Chains A and B, each alone.
Chain A
């Protein structure tokens, strides 16, 4: 069974940094692209970015709203994807989800989410 578990959320002050982790199990992690998405309180889903598998260069893509501030990385030996968030803003407050990509850039598997609150 595919499982994704996010961790690392919490309360952080504006301008500070936070790193989220997504620990995967139940599949060959290194074979899949992994994505981060978020949902602000009472708002819709927003794609944050993804990292391709090593077979496709392990490269990353980001939404314009986080480009230059957020970095996605992966450790295939530990089956973990990371989201490094720098220069956090109050508008980054959201539940952050990780997902595994499958056919047609769809996400059949999601974690339970971790809440990040950016506030002074």
Chain B
């Protein structure tokens, strides 16, 4: 199972919006609505930000939103804030009953 494809880095200024893409295949992202997004700050455990493509866990800011089209899922962060600077990972359930992660995207808030 190959890793999902994410851009290595994205950046934006405070207040702007950014979108991180996560491209899989018809065996994972394209066939299941089981895409999750995680935020990870250096030295910390990952934090769930989005589950089932577009659902936010309790306590996660509504500045974070998720969507999916075909084999590509996306995470959008609006109104960028300094504390959003972190690594972001997508994951998906697969037709092999396994999970697969993306390589991660480093978000820099300029």
Name A residues whose Cβ lies closer than 8 Å to a Cβ of B.
Answer: 35, 44-47, 50, 61-64, 97, 102-108, 110-113
Other-chain contact of A110, B33, B45, B55, B104 (Cβ < 8 Å)? B45
Whether B101 contacts A110 by the Cβ 8 Å rule is no
**Which residue of A is nearest B103, CB measured?**
A44
A103 to B34 Cα, complex, angstroms: 8
Contacts of A112 in B (CB 8 A): 45
Residue B69 CB within 8 A of the other chain: no
Other-chain contact of A104, B34, B96, B100, B104 (Cβ < 8 Å)? B34
A107 to B91 Cα, complex, angstroms: 10
Interface of chain A, main secondary structure: mixed
Whether B51 contacts A47 by the Cβ 8 Å rule is no
Contacts of B96 in A (CB 8 A): 61
A-B contact pairs, 15 of them (CB 8 A): A45-B101, A47-B91, A47-B99, A47-B101, A61-B96, A63-B1, A63-B98, A64-B1, A97-B45, A103-B55, A106-B36, A106-B48, A107-B36, A110-B47, A112-B45
Whether B48 contacts A108 by the Cβ 8 Å rule is yes
Contacts of B34 in A (CB 8 A): 104-106
List 14 extra interface pairs beyond A44-B87, A45-B101, CB under 8 A: A44-B89, A44-B104, A45-B91, A61-B96, A104-B36, A104-B55, A105-B99, A106-B34, A106-B52, A106-B91, A107-B36, A108-B51, A111-B45, A113-B45
Whether B101 contacts A105 by the Cβ 8 Å rule is no
Contacts of A113 in B (CB 8 A): 45
Whether B98 contacts A45 by the Cβ 8 Å rule is no
Whether B93 contacts A105 by the Cβ 8 Å rule is yes
Other-chain contact of B98, A47, A102, A107, A110 (Cβ < 8 Å)? A47
Whether B104 contacts A103 by the Cβ 8 Å rule is no
Other-chain contact of A47, B100, B103, B104 (Cβ < 8 Å)? B100
A50 to B93 Cα, complex, angstroms: 12
Contacts of A50 in B (CB 8 A): 99
CB distance from B51 to the nearest CB of A (A): 4
**Which residue of B is nearest A106, CB measured?**
B51
